[in-house]
Structure 1
Amino acid sequence: MTMEELREYVRARVRITPSGCRNWTLCLDKDGYGRAFVASFPETNRAHRLSRIAFHGSISDGLVVMHSCDNPQCVNPVHLSLGTQLQNIADSRDKERGGAYFYSGQENPKCVIDDDGVRRIRTLKRSGMTHSRIGAEVGCSKTLVTLVVTGRRWAHVI
């Protein structure tokens, strides 16, 4: 398939929205991204990546295709840019699209303990109390107690 044929393939499978997005009209994956299967590009199965290749050329290793419109269905090449995964994560956080995943500690709206609770968990553990009992006393799960005690969560709290 030539690049012009690839561009036509993409153009024929979109619906243009009032915002200028070109939404993919075929299959979507569980995250809402368009799915495309083109034999000439077996390594590319997300439609926005295929569109970026069709209209702007190859995607270098280590780069992701980012949406300025924040619409995973969109394949409009004007809305697509290249960046690193870290840039994509930062963009998502800056636009507050990441949910609780991006916020640690007390900033996370889903947190069940605060910094004082973390300190209390560590003190109770040093006194020999079991994780289950600490969780019951502090008001969190045994799993969270284990994560705090092992330093896999709330490690920033001294």
Structure 2
Amino acid sequence: MTDASTCPVVFADGVKCSRRIARRGWCHPCATWQDRHGGLDPNGRRSVPKRARAEVLAAALAIPPNAEGCRINDGRFAADADGYPTVKIQRRMTRVTRLVLEDKLGRPLGVDMFACHRCDNPACVNSGCLWEGDAAANLHDSMAKGRKPTGAVASRSKPTLKIEDADVPVIRALAAGGTPQKVITAQFGVSQPRISRIVNRKRRAWVE
């Protein structure tokens, strides 16, 4: 028997919504979907199941390691523009590597800390390949591995060096920590106005 307090929506994959009714006879997410789609009936909409942290960690651990010991994302996780596996946790896109490292350390990472790779492979989710570093350590590691030319070398070799999405939080964290923009400019090999626009969220405002 159907519980009268449960949302009656049936998703496109045949799964019934299990949330409690909140308004207009629907649960809050289904009612919100209806609002955003001009009053359409939410029945038949695509289901976007929430992925619990434990489920994400189990999926990462289930990836078999390769010859180098890396667990390379095999498509079970979506990847961002820089190749890092991502999942949606509590309505926020989160990198799987961050969750894996937090589980390894037994504590959350600080907002200004990063899950860095020893193996230098963004798609790897093996906890043994991950270490915790701040913005400066993450940047120095990147440059040491040849992925980020520095100073005059960067300016001469690639004057239009692209700033990747993964660089944006590093740049903002360095600036927030007191690193002068001219120093950041030299490290990334781009113009100071470009760094300023990123720091002040006039560019890449959507990148967290």
Q: TM-score range by the shorter chain?
A: 0.5 to 0.7
1 CA distance for matches of 2:113 and 2:79?
22
Distance 1:92 1:74 in 2: 16
Matched, 1:87 2:137: yes
Given the alignment of the two structures, is residue 29 of structure 1 paired with residue 77 of structure 2, yes or no? no
Q: Larger relative contact order (C-alpha < 8 A, sep ≥ 6)?
A: 1
User: Which letter maps to 2:69?
Assistant: G
How many residue pairs match? The answer is: 111
Which residues of structure 2 form unaligned runs of 5+? 1-50, 161-190, 195-208
**TM norm structure 1:** 0.57
CA 1:106–1:60 in structure 2 vs 1: closer, same or farther (change >3 Å)?
A: closer
Show structure 1 runs of 5+ residues with no match.
Answer: 113-146, 154-158
What amino acid sits opposite 1:21 in the alignment? C
Match of 1:109 among 144, 157, 164: 157
Q: Is the 8 A contact 1:15 1:24 kept in 2?
A: no
Cα distance per residue 1:25-70 (max 9 Å; x no partner): 221111111112234xx54511111111222231123111110110
Q: 1:104 to 1:54 in 2, by over 3 A?
A: same
Tell me how large the CA RMSD over aligned residues is. 3.1
Report SS of the residue matched to 2:115. strand
Identity over the aligned pairs, expressed in percent? 26
Instruction: Give the match for residue 18 of structure 1.
Output: 67
How has the CA–CA distance of structure 1 residues 79 and 106 changed in structure 2, closer, same or farther, with 3 Å as cutoff?
closer
Larger proportion of helix:
1
Moved over 6 A (4+): none
Instruction: From the CA coordinates, give the structure whose radius of gyration is larger.
Output: 1
The two structures have a TM-score, normalised by structure 2, of: 0.45
On the 8 A contact 1:24/1:47 being kept in 2, the answer is no
Q: Which amino acid aligns with 2:67?
A: P
Counterparts of 1:52-67 in structure 2, within 5 Å, are: 52-56=101-105, 57-67=107-117
